[in-house]
Amino acid sequence: MNKDFICKQCGFCCEGESTVSLNQEKIDEISNFMGISRDELLSGFCVVKKNRIEMKTQNGHCIFFEEKQKTCKIHPVKPVNCRIWPLHKSILKDKESFEIIKNTCPGLQEMSYDEICKIIGEK
């Protein structure tokens, strides 16, 4: 039986100076969820970088990260890449990259490259 990935909710993957990008559909979904207009979401919570729109960062993490509880304020509508991380093919590019990502994610500590390959292969 395969091991399951269990997120330790450390919040590390919400940290950094950039976030995942949002498409128009996701912008609508998040603004509806927050009960604000698209323009309010874009001006207050997003940043346009070249050809992409990202969520803003604040204190070194995504603006929607709730620091005390280490939770996501838009959890029900968060972007798909947030939802599936780290179970994404990109972490399997090579074993070296996998080890680097593994070192930043407590949930991956007990898991091997082959185990993650199996989980992602099954998705």
The first and second tokens of residue 11, run together, are 């919040």
Match 């990008």 to its residue by tokens. Answer: 21
Candidates 21-29, 45-53, 72-80, 114-122: pick the segment binding ligand SF4 (CB under 6 A). Answer: 72-80
Candidates 41-49, 58-66, 88-96, 115-123: pick the segment binding ligand SF4 (CB under 6 A). Answer: 58-66
The first and second tokens of residue 102, run together, are 């593994």
Length of the chain: 123
Shortest approach of ligand SF4 to residue 30 CB, angstroms?
A: 8
The nearer residue to ligand SF4, 2 or 104, going by C-beta atoms, is 104
Cα 2 to its chain centre, rounded Å, is: 23
Q: Is 111 helix (H, G, I), strand (E, B) or coil?
A: coil
72 binding ligand SF4? (CB under 6 A)? yes
Q: Say how far apart CA 94 and CA 104 lie, in whole Å.
A: 16
Contacts with ligand SF4 by CB under 6 A lie at 7-14, 19, 55, 62, 64-65, 72, 74, 78-79, 82, 85-86, 105-107
